[in-house]
């Protein structure tokens, strides 16, 4: 893997670059489509490519459980298995430590607000909580499969072994993604674990022959001291690039990203894990992020929420039932070129499978091209003007 910075954004950490992988170049900044189980939900690979997507990310935990990483290996790797010819990535399974652990059965996400009551309650979990499907130890994490209840123990070494079998161009070190509701003491303990696991991941990666690009993950929650400490520790290891993971408060996410990227080496790529709302894309790119992944374009699309330049719309609203215009008149996506809001609304009301496909095509195209346009604005020296113009319309 090679990374070259083409142009830096003046008075900020932002940059435009090119990331070379065995399966093609990635023009950065770039939005990575999430293909959790080796499929971008409701879309085929041709539709994903036609939306402008350069990279697809698979989920290590889910592919380990089904169909099994050895099956993917024997099929020729995740790209060949899913008929995606471009660059691929796999996460480490660290996010499932959060989603199947502290967040399981609760309305807790990795992005929260400072004013959330849960941040002010000392005792956040009691005997009436849903049983967690993930339990964390110093050496690894035991998972109870959400499919059949079987128990699996994933260590940093096991995560790297699985990812080597999956065969993506870029893989990630095993980490602990903590809940935003955890206190400082637990965040410190989790960070020490993540740093030990990062070192073990790197050792195992080299033991298995390297070959793929391995990114280390910076954690530390909302704490400046911990974020900066993590950036220093992870950047001291010989990773090919870096992921920024964990939980954030929406209000201080930009500060957390900046704290980290002011320390991480400039010459290596940076990936902001699980973030993809339009306003957050501008924030991340301005603060030095090169890659983003997020499930929102297809998840929202399947539920009838659609991105437009003037904010999100719910296509199931009554006013769209007889609206014979496209979702966005100047959009080049397949859905807007061929269908009306009235038709797509009809599909959702009729519970037709095509509904989620057409909405997801548009959403993925919208986000991918937004990042492409931001990249071009860096090259054209008008990033801040473009940011102001877009957000003044999008955020009402």
Least Cα distance to 130 among 146, 114, 117, 110 occurs for: 146
CB-neighbour burial class of residue 111 (10 A; exposed 0-12, middle 13-18, buried 19+): middle
CB atoms within 10 A of CB 254: 17
Instruction: Give φ, ψ of 293 to 5 degrees.
Output: -135, 150
SS (H, E, C) 265-278: CCCCCEEECCCCCH
Is 91 in the active site? Answer: yes
Provide the total of helices (H) and of strands (E) in the chain, helices listed first.
Answer: 15, 18
- Which of 91, 169, 240, 280 is catalytic? The answer is 91
Continuous segment of H or E residues that includes residue 232: helix 224-235
Contact criterion met (CB below 8 Å) for 138 and 193: yes
User: What's the CA angle centered on 301, arms 385 and 54, to 5 degrees?
Assistant: 60
- Distance, in Å, from the CA atom of 12 to the CA atom of 262, rounded to the nearest integer, reads 10
**Region of residue 10 (phi > 0: left; psi between -120 and 50: alpha; otherwise: beta):** beta
Residues whose CB falls within 8 Å of the CB of residue 43, separated by 6 or more in sequence, listed in order = 51, 298, 357, 360, 361, 364
- Which of 238, 240, 293, 323 is catalytic? The answer is 293
Is 69 in the active site? Answer: no
Beta bridge partner(s), residue 16:
7
- Distance, in Å, from the CA atom of 55 to the CA atom of 62, rounded to the nearest integer, reads 19
Helix axes 184-207, 224-235, angle to 10 degrees: 10
Residues whose CB falls within 8 Å of the CB of residue 376, separated by 6 or more in sequence, listed in order = none
- Distance, in Å, from the CA atom of 45 to the CA atom of 51, rounded to the nearest integer, reads 10
Torsion of CA 182, 159, 38, 218, to 10 degrees: 40
Task: Supply the residues annotated as catalytic.
Answer: 91, 293
């Amino acid at each position: 893997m090679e990374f070259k910075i083409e142009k830096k954004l003046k008075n900020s950490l932002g940059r435009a670059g090119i990331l070379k992988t065995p399966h093609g170049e990635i023009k950065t900044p770039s939005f990575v489509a999430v293909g959790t189980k080796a499929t971008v939900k409701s879309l085929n690979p041709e539709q994903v490519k036609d939306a402008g997507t350069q990279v697809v990310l698979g989920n290590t935990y889910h592919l380990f459980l089904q169909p099994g990483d050895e099956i993917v290996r024997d099929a020729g790797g995740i790209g060949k298995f899913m008929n995606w010819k471009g660059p691929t990535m796999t996460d480490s399974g660290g996010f499932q430590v959060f989603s199947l652990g502290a967040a399981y059965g609760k309305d807790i996400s990795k992005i929260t607000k400072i004013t959330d009551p849960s941040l002010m309650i000392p005792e956040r979990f009691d005997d009436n909580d849903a049983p967690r499907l993930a339990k964390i130890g110093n050496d690894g994490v035991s998972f109870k499969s959400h499919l059949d209840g079987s128990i699996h123990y994933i260590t940093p070494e096991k995560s790297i072994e699985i990812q080597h079998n999956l065969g993506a161009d870029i893989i990630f070190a095993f980490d602990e993604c903590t809940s935003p509701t955890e206190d400082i003491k637990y965040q410190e303990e989790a960070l020490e674990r993540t740093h030990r696991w990062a070192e073990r991941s790197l050792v195992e990666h080299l033991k298995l022959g390297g070959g793929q690009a391995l990114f280390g993950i910076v954690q530390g929650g909302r704490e400046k001291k911990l974020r900066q400490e993590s950036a220093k520790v992870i950047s001291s290891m010989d990773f090919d690039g870096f992921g920024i993971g964990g939980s954030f408060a929406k209000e201080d996410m930009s500060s957390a990203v900046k704290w980290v990227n002011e320390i991480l080496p400039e010459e290596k790529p940076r990936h902001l894990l699980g973030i993809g709302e339009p306003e957050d894309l501008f924030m991340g790119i301005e603060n030095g992020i090169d890659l983003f992944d997020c499930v929102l374009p297809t998840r929202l699309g399947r539920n009838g929420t659609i991105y437009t330049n003037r904010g999100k719309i719910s296509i199931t609203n009554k006013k769209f039932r007889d609206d014979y215009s496209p979702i966005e008149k100047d959009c080049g996506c397949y859905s807007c070129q061929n269908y009306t809001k009235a038709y797509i609304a009809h599909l959702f009301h009729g519970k037709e499978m095509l509904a989620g496909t057409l909405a997801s095509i548009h959403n993925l195209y919208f986000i991918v091209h937004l990042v492409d346009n931001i990249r071009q604005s860096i090259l054209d020296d008008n990033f801040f003007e473009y940011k102001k113009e877009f957000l003044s319309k999008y955020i009402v």
